[in-house]
């Protein structure tokens, strides 16, 4: 009997133990992320490393502070806070201000993790919730703070330097001929560039190769469940094959934060289901939501919000897929599923705060997902409006929301389009007008009440009628004036002030923007997309390309020998000595000439190298 007593030990659960500890598991995940961290430092420079360090250190600091304030056990040595900070940093653009990772870590640790009870009790992935918080409240910073990689371009395409690959895919007509842009994005060179990571993006999402290596490392160490990985990847690729016919499916797989989300975010032990079937459902749901967001919500990425929304219904998935208790009939728990059930899960039983937070945070995510749809729709509506006043296919901006170049599909200058807001009788009159290269109006459009038009109904409001606006077509700036003032425009009866305001607004804008109708000036914007101004360095030969007072690179005129011909061209180079655009001036441009002289054009970087430093 004594021998039996020694063999039997009575204790509380858990009864099955593993050699792995939380600290060891966290360290292994960090090791899996280390190659991508090193690559990000080499690709984006010291700034990316500083952002990572600030995020990690502030996450550890905030965990210590909140646990101390709440009189909890200090657990910063388990590595979970540091890992949250690291993963948050991996989702941030490398050029963000340094307070961004600190604020994001504070939200992730204090609100999402500790106020829900600490490790093992949070309903949302803390790093992704921090990223979502920053994206919702600081969208301009989170969508523009990109840094060009040392060995590539922001988009993966040599001629597009101002947008990430998914942003270009979402609205290709903004960056040139849509068919050409889609072909460039889907070709083997771009796919290989995405796979290696020579593109712009968030700190930890660029190199698909290194993320795959890290993900496989986690699978081999049983730190990641293959069911979520396969479910996520499989559902995503199936939907891409079925519904995305424009581009190579591998583009979607290797771009953005998809692989980082699949291996390191969706598989989070706390916020994913505990049942085997639940993990298949969770992974598939993440994949479905991601492709839905990318294709139909006008949101370029979608990974972050897809996983967070699936985190929200994880308790329901676990309830539905709960294994059958031995000796009972199988039940999927459908009878228990209701909106009230969500409030009864352990993570949300603590206080009304948790319930309010979940409602508000989820509502913020849904609202944010709608914003890009509205913005892109507005941009497409704007492009249609610009096409309505001049026959062109591309409209690269010169002055944001005010002045555009009008180009055809071959990048030939057709003219300009501008907006003007002269003061009429009832306030500003919103005018959009197109001007051809001869300095004559090709069309005008006057906006309605949604743009602030408020002229007197039946009088000044008639300036929007075709009978008035058609008078401007074919007119030069000198001819645009009322007949009573020596011009060729008939005023609207009883609305002289409104009629005169329209004439003045168009006439003055045409004079102000006439310089952009010159071939030489327009070519600068064509060969260096994203630049807003050009400051002369060598008269009529070399200019700095500037945007928001930051020097982006240079634009210059040059000539090279091609066989027996002298080829004259204008070209742009960014600070990394990558060509941003090339336009042949003489002889008549041919693609073959561009290919033949490209290496000779690149030699100009040696001549102008000191201006790129």
Domains of the chain, by residue range, sit at 22-374, 397-516, 519-612
Give the C-alpha distances (Å, rounded to integers) separating 33 from 83, 97, 173. Answer: 10, 23, 36
The answer on pLDDT for 347 being more than 50 is no
Lowest average pLDDT, out of 124-128, 325-329, 564-568, goes to 325-329
The answer on pLDDT for 316 being more than 70 is yes
Q: How confident is the model at residue 545, as a pLDDT? A: 84
Q: What is the largest CA-CA distance in the chain?
A: 120
What is the token pair recorded at 204?
């930890």
Task: Taking residues 90-118, report their average pLDDT.
Answer: 90
Q: How many other C-beta atoms are found inside a 10 Å radius of the C-beta of residue 349?
A: 10
Range from 14-28, 98-112, 339-353, 410-424 that averages highest in pLDDT? 98-112
Task: Taking residues 340-360, report their average pLDDT.
Answer: 53
Sheet strand arrangement including 565-574: 533-538, 542-547, 550-562, 565-574, 579-586
**β-pairing verdict for 431-436 and 413-420:** antiparallel
End-to-end CA distance of the chain: 85
As a whole number of angstroms, the distance between CA 403 and CA 513 comes to 8
Name the packing angle between helices 126-137 and 99-106 (round to 10°).
120
The answer on pLDDT for 411 being more than 90 is no
pLDDT band at 330 (very low <50, low <70, confident <90, very high): low
496 neighbors 483 (Cβ within 8 angstroms) = no
State the DSSP H helix or E strand holding residue 4, giving kind and residue range, or none if neither: helix 2-7
The answer on pLDDT for 14 being more than 70 is no
Question: For residue 413, which phi and psi values (nearest 5 degrees)?
Answer: -70, 125
As a whole number of angstroms, the distance between CA 62 and CA 68 comes to 10
Task: Taking residues 202-231, report their average pLDDT.
Answer: 92
pLDDT band at 339 (very low <50, low <70, confident <90, very high): very low
pTM, entire model: 0.62
pLDDT band at 426 (very low <50, low <70, confident <90, very high): confident
Lowest average pLDDT, out of 206-210, 219-223, 247-251, 333-337, goes to 333-337
As a whole number of angstroms, the distance between CA 291 and CA 484 comes to 60
As a whole number of angstroms, the distance between CA 305 and CA 293 comes to 9
As a whole number of angstroms, the distance between CA 259 and CA 253 comes to 7
What is the token pair recorded at 472?
């401007």
Buried b (16+ CB within 10 A) or exposed e, 423-452: ebbbebbbbbbbbbeebbbbbbbbbeeeee
The answer on pLDDT for 219 being more than 50 is yes
In terms of Cβ atoms closer than 10 Å to its own Cβ (0-12, 13-18, 19+), residue 335 is: exposed
Q: How many other C-beta atoms are found inside a 10 Å radius of the C-beta of residue 383?
A: 17
587 upstream amide cis, omega within 30 of 0: yes
The answer on pLDDT for 348 being more than 50 is no
**β-pairing verdict for 565-574 and 579-586:** antiparallel
Sheet strand arrangement including 403-407: 397-399, 403-407, 413-420, 431-436, 441-446
What is the token pair recorded at 155?
């988009």
State the DSSP H helix or E strand holding residue 64, giving kind and residue range, or none if neither: helix 46-69
The answer on pLDDT for 446 being more than 80 is yes
**β-pairing verdict for 403-407 and 413-420:** antiparallel
Q: How many residues does the chain have?
A: 613
As a whole number of angstroms, the distance between CA 425 and CA 500 comes to 10
The answer on pLDDT for 341 being more than 90 is no
User: Which pLDDT tens digit goes with each residue over 256-315?
Assistant: 889 999 999 999 988 999 999 999 999 999 999 999 888 877 678 889 889 998 998 888
393 neighbors 414 (Cβ within 8 angstroms) = no
228 neighbors 266 (Cβ within 8 angstroms) = yes
What is the token pair recorded at 325?
């208790």
User: Which pLDDT tens digit goes with each residue over 54-76?
Assistant: 999 999 999 999 999 988 889 88
Q: How confident is the model at residue 326, as a pLDDT? A: 64
The answer on pLDDT for 503 being more than 90 is yes
As a whole number of angstroms, the distance between CA 8 and CA 17 comes to 17
Task: Name 415's bridge partners.
Answer: 406, 436
Closest CA to 102 of 118, 123, 88: 88
Q: How confident is the model at residue 423, as a pLDDT? A: 87
As a whole number of angstroms, the distance between CA 610 and CA 613 comes to 5
- 3-state secondary structure string, 409-469? CCCCEEEEEEEECCECCCCECCEEEEEECCCCEEEEEECCHHHCCCCCCCCHHHHHCHHHH
As a whole number of angstroms, the distance between CA 183 and CA 422 comes to 42
User: Which pLDDT tens digit goes with each residue over 377-406?
Assistant: 555 556 677 888 898 888 877 776 788 888
As a whole number of angstroms, the distance between CA 79 and CA 498 comes to 68
Q: DSSP alpha helices (H): ranges in 165-323?
A: 165-170, 178-186, 188-196, 208-220, 226-243, 249-254, 258-260, 276-296, 303-312, 314-320
As a whole number of angstroms, the distance between CA 388 and CA 122 comes to 52
Q: How confident is the model at residue 367, as a pLDDT? A: 59
Q: CA-based angle 171:174:180, to the nearest 5?
A: 85
Task: Name 561's bridge partners.
Answer: 566
Contact partners, residue 524, CB within 8 Å, separation at least 6: 531, 534, 543, 545, 555, 570, 572
51 neighbors 95 (Cβ within 8 angstroms) = no
Half-sphere exposure of 467 (CA within 13 A, CB side): 6
Q: How confident is the model at residue 141, as a pLDDT? A: 81
413 neighbors 405 (Cβ within 8 angstroms) = yes
Q: How confident is the model at residue 365, as a pLDDT? A: 63
Greater model confidence, 346 or 173: 173
pLDDT band at 346 (very low <50, low <70, confident <90, very high): very low
Distance of CA 131 to the CA centre of its chain: 13
Task: Taking residues 361-383, report their average pLDDT.
Answer: 57
As a whole number of angstroms, the distance between CA 425 and CA 427 comes to 6
pLDDT band at 328 (very low <50, low <70, confident <90, very high): low
Q: How confident is the model at residue 176, as a pLDDT? A: 63
User: Which pLDDT tens digit goes with each residue over 589-606?
Assistant: 565 777 778 878 888 877
Residue 107 DSSP symbol = I
Domain covering 22-374, topology: Ammonium transporter fold (1.10.3430)
């Amino acid at each position: 009997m004594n021998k039996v007593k020694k063999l039997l030990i009575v204790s509380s659960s858990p009864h099955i133990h593993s050699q792995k500890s939380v600290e060891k598991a966290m360290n292994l995940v960090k090791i899996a992320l280390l190659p991508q961290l090193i690559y990000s430092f080499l690709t984006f420079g010291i700034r990316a490393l500083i952002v990572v360090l600030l995020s990690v250190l502030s996450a550890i600091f905030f965990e210590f502070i909140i646990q101390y304030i709440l009189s909890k056990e200090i657990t910063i040595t388990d590595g979970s806070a540091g890992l949250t900070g690291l993963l948050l940093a991996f989702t941030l653009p490398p050029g963000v201000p340094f307070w961004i990772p600190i604020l994001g870590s504070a939200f992730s640790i204090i609100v999402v993790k500790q106020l829900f009870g600490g490790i093992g009790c949070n309903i949302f992935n803390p790093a992704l919730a921090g990223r979502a918080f920053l994206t919702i409240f600081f969208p301009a910073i989170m969508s523009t703070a990109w840094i060009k990689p040392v060995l590539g371009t922001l988009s993966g395409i040599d001629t597009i330097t101002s947008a990430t690959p998914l942003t270009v895919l979402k609205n290709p007509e903004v960056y040139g001929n849509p068919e050409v842009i889609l072909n460039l994005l889907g070709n083997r060179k771009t796919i290989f560039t995405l796979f290696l990571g020579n593109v712009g993006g968030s700190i930890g999402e660029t190199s698909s190769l290194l993320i795959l290596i890290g993900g496989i490392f986690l699978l081999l160490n049983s730190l990641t469940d293959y069911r979520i990985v396969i479910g996520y990847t499989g559902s995503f690729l199936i939907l891409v094959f079925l519904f995305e016919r424009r581009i190579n499916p591998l583009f979607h797989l290797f771009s953005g934060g998809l692989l980082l989300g699949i291996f390191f975010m969706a598989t989070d032990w706390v916020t994913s289901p505990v049942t085997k079937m639940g993990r298949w459902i969770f992974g598939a749901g993440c994949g479905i939501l991601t492709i839905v967001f990318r294709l139909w919500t006008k949101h370029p990425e979608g990974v972050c919000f897809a996983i967070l929304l699936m985190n929200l219904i994880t308790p329901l998935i676990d309830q539905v897929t709960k294994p059958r208790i031995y000796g009972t009939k199988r039940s999927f728990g459908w009878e228990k599923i209701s909106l009230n059930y969500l409030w009864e899960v352990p993570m949300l039983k603590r206080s009304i705060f948790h319930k309010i937070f979940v409602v508000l945070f989820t509502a913020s995510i849904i609202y944010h997902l709608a914003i890009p749809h509205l913005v892109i729709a507005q941009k497409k509506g704007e492009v249609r409006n610009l096409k309505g006043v001049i026959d062109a296919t591309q409209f690269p901006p010169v002055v944001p929301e005010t002045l555009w170049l009008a180009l055809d599909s071959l990048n030939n200058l057709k003219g300009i389009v501008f907006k003007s807001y002269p003061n009429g009788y009832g306030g500003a009159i919103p005018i959009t007008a197109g001007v051809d290269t001869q300095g004559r109006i090709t069309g005008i459009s006057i906006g309605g009440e949604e743009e602030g038009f408020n002229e007197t109904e039946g009088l000044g409001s008639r300036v929007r009628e075709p009978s008035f606006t058609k008078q401007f077509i074919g007119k030069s700036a000198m001819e645009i004036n009322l007949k009573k003032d020596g011009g060729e425009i008939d005023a609207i009866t009883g609305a002289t002030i409104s009629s005169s305001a329209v004439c003045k607004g168009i006439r003055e804008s045409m004079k102000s923007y006439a310089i952009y109708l010159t071939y030489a000036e327009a070519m600068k914007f064509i060969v260096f997309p994203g630049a807003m101004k050009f400051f002369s360095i060598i008269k009529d030969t070399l200019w700095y390309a500037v945007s928001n007072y930051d020097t982006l690179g240079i634009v210059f005129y040059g000539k090279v020998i091609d066989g027996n011909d002298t080829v004259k061209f204008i070209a742009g180079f960014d600070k990394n000595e990558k060509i941003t655009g090339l336009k042949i001036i003489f002889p008549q441009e041919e693609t073959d000439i561009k290919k033949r002289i490209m290496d000779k054009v690149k030699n100009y970087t040696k001549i102008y190298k000191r201006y790129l430093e």
